[in-house]
């Protein structure tokens, strides 16, 4: 796919149908990592065939792990044990994936060999000291660029010691990197968070037989444990589902069913925010898949009104702000976002990218250092720069469903990092979306 790929998005039909959303990105990354470190063979079902998660799988193949793909979205991972990884023959490319790079930093810092982690243009600008700092406190040796960005040059062969670390910002990636390093460290490692974040690493380590204590906002494990192979069922990604939840909410006459979506409470802040705005979203067929709560989400069009997004919800919807901005643009009355400065260091500066894009379509958006106020209105035609950020591109494809004109979304190739097939799924249920 070329970087210059774009979409022409226009108001389409009422959105109708039953959708199967691809597997969760966070769970897919972790499933390959932990299965690789386990003793024995693990099968992963529902693996996200996105560029980010495939990059992680390709890295483990280069570290000497045999990974079979018997059919799409299925992986059979022949674990090599915690001490079985082998040095790669060159830099390891994490692509666009902050999760891949940050978690691997923790894991590779504990190996007896050196590694170099590189990423694409966006990842190469993202802050890494948030992981290299605590890892250095454990005894790791990792070099970054002078400004703390990748590449990461990891000097293996260090003896790591457990730490008690309190995260300065809520980050599941940093927590997970420390826990993975902690698996190899002498003594105990514990992490405390200012606000609980997604706990997939903790849940999955436990599923792989690791003795780990965790509760919202805390995790603690002892180094020197082994992992036992297990099978993983990856739920449908809530963050990918979010675009359809918003689209069906804002397009009159819509009704969509999203099948078996992962509803881990640390991911579903947007569901609460949309309901506060008046959205009509019903959960049906609740079940537990691979230890994670899932349910069908049935969403029908409903008039939305603006809200002050409760700050306590921010970490639980950290990836959903692009979608929320699209909903806010089509609501009645302003929506206020605060306490979301982390959005400035995601795949793009998401506060700036969404504010600028919505202004281009004719809205007033007041930006602050840690948020924005979105004043809804009629959306006009315009050309949107996605900054190569998958979620910005998808958010504007959604907003365009309520536009009076043609919205050209530039640079959409990276949608394949998290949601391959988004455009055909969207067209299939009624979106006006041409490539």
* Residue keyed to tokens 């386990």: 38
Kindly state whether residue 167 participates in binding ligand S3P, applying the rule CB under 6 A.
no
Q: What is the DSSP letter of 312?
A: G
Site string for ligand S3P, 342-361 (x = CB under 6 A): x-------------------
Supply the minimum distance, in Å, between the C-beta of residue 176 and ligand S3P. 6
For residue 87 the two structure tokens come to: 């040095």
Which residues are documented as binding site?
A: 25-26, 30, 98, 126, 171, 173, 319, 346, 350, 391
Kindly state whether residue 240 participates in binding ligand S3P, applying the rule CB under 6 A.
no
Kindly state whether residue 53 participates in binding ligand S3P, applying the rule CB under 6 A.
no
Binding ligand S3P (rule: CB under 6 A), the pick from 173, 240, 241, 403 is 173
Annotation marks residue 319 as catalytic: yes
Supply the minimum distance, in Å, between the C-beta of residue 116 and ligand S3P. 21
Cα separation, 382 vs 416, whole angstroms: 23
Q: Are strands 6-10 and 115-118 parallel, antiparallel or unpaired?
A: unpaired
> Which residue, 292, 149, 172, is CA-closest to 232?
292
Kindly state whether residue 56 participates in binding ligand S3P, applying the rule CB under 6 A.
no
Binding-site residue total for ligand S3P (CB under 6 A)? 11
Supply the minimum distance, in Å, between the C-beta of residue 201 and ligand S3P. 7
Of the pair 30, 301, the CB lying nearest ligand S3P is at: 30
Q: Which stretch binds ligand S3P (CB under 6 A): 165-173, 205-213, 263-271, 274-282?
A: 165-173
b/e 396-433 (16+ beta carbons within 10 angstroms → b): bbbbbbbbeebbbbbbbbbbbbbbbebbebbeebbbbb
CA contacts within 13 A on the Cβ side of 128: 33
Strand order in the sheet with 6-10: 382-385, 407-410, 6-10, 432-434
Of the pair 254, 348, the CB lying nearest ligand S3P is at: 348
Binding ligand S3P (rule: CB under 6 A), the pick from 19, 172, 232, 274 is 172
Of the pair 70, 369, the CB lying nearest ligand S3P is at: 369
Catalytic residue among 24, 237, 319, 423: 319
- E-strand ranges in 225-369 read 232-233, 255-262, 280-289, 292-300, 335-337, 364-368
Binding ligand S3P (rule: CB under 6 A), the pick from 99, 249, 268, 414 is 99
Cα separation, 256 vs 124, whole angstroms: 37
Instruction: Confirm if 189 and 179 have CB atoms less than 8 A apart.
Output: yes
What is the contact surface with ligand S3P in residues (CB under 6 A)?
26, 99, 171-173, 176, 197-198, 318-319, 342
Residues annotated as part of the active site = 319
């Amino acid at each position: 796919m070329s970087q210059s790929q774009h979409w022409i998005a226009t108001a389409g039909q009422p959105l109708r149908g039953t959708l199967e959303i691809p597997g969760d990105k966070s769970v897919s990354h972790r499933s390959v990592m932990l299965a690789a470190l386990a003793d024995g063979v693990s099968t992963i079902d529902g693996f996200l065939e996105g560029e980010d998660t495939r990059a992680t799988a390709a890295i483990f193949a280069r570290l000497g792990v045999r990974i079979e793909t018997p059919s799409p979205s299925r992986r059979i991972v022949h674990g090599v044990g915690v001490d079985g990884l082998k040095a790669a023959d060159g830099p390891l490319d994490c692509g666009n994936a902050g999760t891949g790079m940050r978690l691997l930093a923790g894991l590779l810092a504990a190996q007896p060999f050196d590694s170099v982690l590189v990423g694409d243009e966006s990842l190469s600008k993202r802050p890494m000291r948030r992981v290299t700092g605590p890892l250095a406190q454990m005894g790791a040796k990792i070099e970054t660029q002078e400004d703390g960005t990748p590449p990461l040059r990891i000097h293996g062969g260090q003896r790591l010691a457990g730490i008690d670390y309190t995260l300065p910002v809520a980050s599941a990636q940093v927590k997970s990197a420390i826990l993975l390093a902690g698996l190899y460290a002498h003594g105990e490692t514990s992490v405390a968070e200012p606000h609980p974040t997604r706990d997939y690493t903790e849940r999955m380590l436990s599923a792989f037989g690791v003795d780990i204590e965790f509760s919202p906002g805390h995790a603690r494990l002892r180094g020197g444990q082994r992992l036992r192979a297990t099978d993983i069922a990856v739920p449908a990604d809530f963050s990918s589902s979010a675009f359809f939840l918003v689209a069906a909410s804002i397009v009159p006459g819509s009704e969509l069913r999203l099948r078996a979506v992962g509803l881990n409470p640390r991911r579903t802040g947007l569901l609460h925010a949309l309901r506060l705005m008046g959205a009509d979203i019903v959960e049906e067929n609740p079940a537990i898949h691979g230890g994670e709560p899932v349910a069908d989400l049935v969403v029908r069009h409903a008039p939305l009104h603006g809200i002050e997004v409760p700050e306590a919800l921010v970490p639980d919807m950290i990836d959903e702000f692009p979608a929320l901005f699209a909903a806010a643009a089509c609501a009645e009355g302003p929506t206020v976002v605060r306490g979301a400065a982390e959005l400035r260091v995601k795949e793009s500066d998401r506060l700036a990218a969404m504010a600028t894009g919505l202004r281009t379509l004719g809205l007033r958006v007041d930006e602050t250092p840690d948020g924005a106020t979105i004043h809804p209105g009629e959306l006009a035609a315009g050309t949107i720069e996605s900054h190569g950020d998958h979620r910005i591109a998808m958010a504007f494809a959604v907003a365009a469903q309520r536009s009076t004109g043609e919205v050209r979304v530039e640079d959409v190739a990276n949608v394949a990092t998290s949601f391959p097939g988004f455009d055909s799924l969207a067209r299939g249920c009624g979106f006006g979306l041409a490539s």
